[in-house]
A and B are shown apart, each in its own frame.
Chain A
Amino acid sequence: MIHDPNTRPILLVEDNPVDLDLTLRAFARRKLANPLLVARDGQEALDWLPRWAAGEPLPLVVLLDLKLPKVDGLEVLRRFRADPVAQGLPVVVLTSSNEDRDIQTAYQHHANSYIVKPVNFDKFMDVAAQIELYWCLINQPPL
């Protein structure tokens, strides 16, 4: 079924309450129209798979942290890519790590983008703005 891109959600997978709060605030400042869904660990993110298969609207983009309780971000990405519904989903890795190893592995699992979260809040706001602009407005999502 076809959903209006303006009402399709963004899924934020983030366990850290500070990062989660700041991210939500940043998007709130951008006056983002799309609903934000939150998964607090890897398992919660994976729990979305049957719901999407049952017909709930697919998110425009998944913002995925790597370091997560229960199931880590790279495993979530791998399972998404193995799932017929979620395999085409745009996934942006949004993490503190700028380790070569993490970047390499994320792309090997077909991440669509890899963004390092800046410490500086102004820069973090910039990143949120860029993500929203690009993935919600510029990019044409899969149906």
Chain B
Amino acid sequence: MTAPTASSSEPGLFSRRVLIAGLLALVVVGLLGTLYLAQRDQIARSGALLEDMRQAQNELNKGFLRLLQADALGADHEAQAGLALIDQAVTTYERHLRQLQGQDAASAEAFQAGARAFRERLAAWRLAPSTHALIELRITFSQLERQAQALDSLAHRQRVALQARGNRLFLVSLAGSILALVWIVTLLVRAVLRERRALEALTEQYRLREASEALFRQLFEEAPVALGLAEPDGRLGTQNARFVELFGYTPEDIPDLEAWWRLAYPDPEYRRAIQERWQTNLATQAPGPIDAGEYSIHCKHGETRIVRVRTMRLSNGLLSAFIDQTEIRRAEQAAREAMQAAQRSFEERGRALDMLAAIAEATQDAIFAKDLDGRYLLCNRAAGRLLGHPPEAVLGQDDRTLLPAAEAAATQAAEQAVLEHGQNRSDELRMLTPDGPRDYLVTRGPLHDAEGALTGVFAIARDISDLKAAEQSRSAIQAARVAQQQRARLALLNQMQDTNAALASVRALNASLEARVAERTAALAAANKELETFTYSVSHDLKAPLRGIDGYSQLLLEDHREQLDEEGRLFLDRVREGVTRMSQLIEDLLAYSRMERRDLYGVPLVLAHVVARVLDERRDELAARGVELDNRLGSETALADPDGLAMVLRNLIDNALKFSRDRQPPRLEIVATEGPESTILSIKDNGIGFDMQFRDRIFEIFQRLQRAEDYPGTGVGLAIVRKAMQRMGGRVWADSTPGQGATFFLELPR
């Protein structure tokens, strides 16, 4: 962008031309002037000559007159004076003759001859003055006078001619001077005009150049694409505002290409590739802009922009245009991702639909949907079975053609109610099927399309006949359990009645106890929910009489020992043992019931910590029995309630110790294995084990495989274990060979 410079030779040339023209004009005027002056001088001289010659003629005439007088008078001096005048006049003539010779040589020669003849006659007269000589002299003089007059006229003619020539010359020189001046002025005017035009053209050119340059600069600066100029030596010229805005780099950041490459392409590998591409593009001699491709440019503020670069060869370097493609590429990427997401969602929906269809086909529940006119829109296999037709035959039909009139009317009424209330409703319904009468739980509800408009009704019918039967049998089992508890208490009472007559007051208390227990157990039998109330009451009320039995037995033994014989004391001991077992049973039952009601929270636990806590509680017992403990726990974790798990472990470890008490030494092995979703903890003993046919029964409440006197226990421990594991989302199972020990497995979620 250099400013245009005017040619420095132009004004010099112009002035030299004017100078030359002026000098030329001066020379012409000088020459003509000189010529004219010389001519005037010659005319003047010719005038003077003519004057001299006329003077000499007068002198001649005067001299001759004096001679005549002298002759007449005889005055000598007159003759002398006349002679001098004549002589002088002849000399003058002779002198002028030289000047006239060039004009007319013949006249001059004649005058010379006349002059010589006169001088001879004069000389002759002087020698011999006679009248004859005088006449002779007079004749000669007349001749000389004629010749002088001829000379005079000749001089006169010459002067006139000269004068005429001088005039002509003057006119010519005047005209020449004017012409020369006009020419010079014309020349000058033309030169000036030409100069001026040249100057104007130059100025215009300069102005246009400036305007175009400003336009270019404005275009460059305000162009909506980023532009940068690289000079051939690798320096970076200018970048426009958009460039700085786009990349953040100012001209100070990127003085040259190297700096630009280093900043814009921080990855050395990528940078090398870019530099090679640049060299290739540079070597390309193709005319027009070069499409240099797309580049990822690292901007000053940290982000990366994708630009398409087009390069143009300019006279002073390479102009690169950076067209920002980032948003386009991002939009493309987003569009691609959205497309993929839509595709995925479509596939997922398809799979969900497939799955729903599979579920509808696989379920034992009858599922169907009808339009607002009661025609079947959908009917799964189970529904087909219920209606007694293949599902395909049902579609498009309504109940009037498929069911007996009464059932069809009832169904229609129920569906109408659902449509009117717009809510789901469930009804229990007994229906006659090919397999006899069955109970169904029918849930009906309105169907809506995507816009929320009512389109029909759906129904799901579940066969609950078996469920109802199971419910009834469950109530029976519960009643059996209550009866069993009652029997246990009766046994206790019987035991007490067996003791002693001294226990009359105790028996009185027992009567009230019995009444209350009977009352409570009746309440318990009423509903499962009341069992909870019962177990809660047990903790208060069942323990109090026990405390009485134990307390008074003890008091009897202590305060009335002497009144009792050995057998009486033994009975009292038995009473107290019974109380201990009863108390333990109550505690276990309470623990079981608590486990059923308590909230158990699954928190991540390191199993080793919980196991260590429980083992520590039994440290003395373990040591006393010389148990070989093989605890192989590491950092395995599981999700469990800390107290719930501790209770489980306490029961299992106590169990293991109890059933391996006769082993020498008893062994206890604790191992944990982490699976992908659960952790399995196993506790293995070398006790008596059990028959695998009882592997499920051992976890049921009050179920015992051993006699109480061999291995004391309430039959609640493992039930508590199973209940707790269920409440914690885990499970428990056992593996054993009789006589070889047992292994209990606890599986807990991770």
Of listed A19, A100, A117, A120, residue having the most chain B CB within 10 A: A120
A47 at the interface (CB under 8 A from B): no
Q: Which residues of A (54-108) have their CB < 8 Å from a CB of B?
A: 66-67, 95-100
- Bound complex: CA of A117 vs CA of B543, how far in Å? 9
Across the A-B interface, how many residue pairs have beta carbons closer than 8 Å? 62
B539 near A124 (CB under 8 angstroms)?
A: no
Chain A residue at minimal CB-CB distance from B584? A119
Over the window 100-141 of chain A, the binary record of Cβ atoms lying under 8 Å from chain B Cβ atoms (1 yes, 0 no) is 100000000000000001111110100000000000000000
CB contacts (< 8 Å) of A124 on chain B: these are 547, 551
- B550 to chain A: closest CB distance in Å? 5
CB-CB under 8 A from B482, the residues of chain A are: none
Does chain A have a CB within 8 A of B602?
no
By DSSP majority rule, is chain B's interface helix, strand, loop, or mixed?
helix
Whether a CB of chain A sits under 8 angstroms from the CB of B271 is no
Considering residues B544, B554, B594, which has the most beta carbons from chain A within 10 angstroms of its beta carbon?
B544
Q: Say if the beta carbon of A2 comes within 8 Å of chain B.
A: no
Q: Can you list, as one digit per residue, whether each of B517-545 has a CB less than 8 Å from chain A (1) or not (0)?
A: 00000000000000000001001110111
Which one of A96, A98, A121 lies within 8 Å of B541 (CB-CB)?
A96
CB distance from B286 to the nearest CB of A (A): 89
Q: Is B226 an interface residue, CB under 8 A from the partner?
A: no
State whether the Cβ of B645 lies closer than 8 Å to any Cβ in chain A.
Answer: no
Contacts of A30 in B (CB 8 A): none
Residues of A contacting B579 with CB < 8 Å?
119-120
Contact string against B for A residues 1-25, beta-carbon threshold 8 Å, 1 for contact and 0 otherwise: 0000000000000001011001001
Task: Please tell me if the beta carbons of B547 and A119 are within 8 angstroms of each other in the complex.
Answer: yes
Residues 537-573 of B at the A interface (beta carbon under 8 Å): 539-541, 543-548, 550-551, 553-555
**Best-surrounded residue of B509, B536, B547, B553 (most CB of chain A within 10 A):** B547
Q: Once bound together, how far apart are the Cα atoms of A117 and B555, in whole Å?
A: 17
Are A19 and B555 in contact (CB-based, < 8 A)? no
What band does the interface of chain A fall in when counting residues whose beta carbon is under 8 Å from B? 20 to 34
- B590 at the A interface (CB under 8 A): yes
Bound complex: CA of A91 vs CA of B244, how far in Å? 82
Q: Contact partner of A98 among B545, B546, B550, B590, CB < 8 A?
A: B590
| Contact (Cβ within 8 A) A97 B544 | no
- In the complex the two chains form, is B555's CB within 8 Å of A18's CB? no
> Is A118 a contact of B598 with CB atoms below 8 Å?
no
Judge whether B594 and A100 touch: CB under 8 Å.
yes
Shortest CB distance B556–A (Å): 11
Assess whether B580 is interfacial by the CB under 8 Å rule: yes
Interface centre among A18, A119, A120, A124 (most CB of B within 10 A): A119
* Cβ contact of B551, chosen from A95, A98, A121, cutoff 8 A: A121
Cβ–Cβ contact B598 & A19, under 8 A: no
Distance in angstroms between the alpha carbons of A88 and B579 in the assembled complex: 39
Minimum distance in angstroms from B268 CB to a CB of chain A: 68
Bound CA span A101–B579, Å:
26
Is B540 in contact with A96, judged by CB distance below 8 angstroms? yes
A94 to B536, alpha carbons, bound, how many Å?
16
Interface size class of B (residues with CB under 8 A): 20 to 34
Given contacts A18-B509, A18-B551, A121-B555, contact A99 B543 (CB under 8 A): no
- Chain B: CB-nearest residue to A117: B547
Mark interface residues in A34-68 (1 if CB within 8 Å of B CB, else 0). Answer: 00000000000000000000000000000000110
- The distance from the CB of A59 to the nearest CB of chain B, in whole angstroms, is 23
**B11 CB → nearest A CB, Å:** 114
For the complex, is B149 an interface residue (Cβ under 8 Å from A)? no
Assess the B554–A96 pair: CB atoms within 8 A.
no
The 8 Å CB contact of A99, one of B536, B550, B553, B554, is B536
> How many Å lie between the Cα of A120 and that of B586 in the bound state?
13
A95 pairs with B547, CB closer than 8 A: no
Q: Say whether, besides A22-B547, A96-B539, A121 and B509 are in contact (CB < 8 Å).
A: no
B543 and chain A: residue at smallest CB distance: A96
Closest to B590 in A: A98
What residues of chain B lie closer than 8 Å to A96, measured between beta carbons?
Answer: 539-541, 543-544, 547
A16–B543 alpha-carbon span in the complex (Å) = 11
Report A-chain residues with C-beta under 8 Å of the C-beta of B543.
Answer: 96, 117, 119
Tell yes or no: B583 within 8 A of A by CB: yes
- Are A119 and B554 closer than 8 Å at their CB atoms? no
- Measured in the bound complex, the distance between the Cα atoms of B550 and A118 in whole Å is 10
Bound together, the chains give a CA A19 to CA B550 distance in angstroms of: 11
Q: Assess the B540–A18 pair: CB atoms within 8 A.
A: no
In whole angstroms, how far apart are the Cα atoms of A118 and B544 in the complex?
9
| Complex Cα–Cα for A120 and B551 (A) | 7
Contact status of A121 and B550, CB under 8 A, knowing A16-B544, A18-B545, A95-B540: yes
Given contacts A18-B509, A122-B554, contact A67 B547 (CB under 8 A): no
Q: Is the CB of A19 within 8 A of B541?
A: no
Query: Which residue from A19, A99, A120, A121 sits with its C-beta under 8 Å from B544?
Result: A19
Contact of A19 among B548, B554, B580, B594 (CB under 8 A): B548
Contact of A120 among B539, B548, B550, B590 (CB under 8 A): B550
User: Are B539 and A121 in contact (CB-based, < 8 A)?
Assistant: no
CB distance from B737 to the nearest CB of A (A): 39
Interface residues in chain A, defined as those with a beta carbon under 8 Å from any beta carbon in chain B: 16, 18-19, 22, 25, 66-67, 95-100, 117-122, 124
4 closest pairs, A vs B, by CB? A18-B548, A121-B551, A119-B583, A121-B554
Q: List 9 A-B contacts (CB under 8 A).
A: A16-B544, A18-B545, A18-B548, A96-B541, A96-B544, A98-B539, A119-B550, A121-B554, A124-B551
Name B residues whose Cβ lies closer than 8 Å to a Cβ of A. 509, 536, 539-541, 543-548, 550-551, 553-555, 579-580, 583, 586, 590, 594, 598
- New contact pairs (14) apart from A98-B590, A117-B543, A121-B547, CB-CB < 8 Å: A18-B544, A19-B544, A19-B547, A22-B547, A67-B541, A96-B540, A96-B541, A97-B540, A99-B536, A119-B546, A119-B586, A120-B579, A120-B583, A121-B555
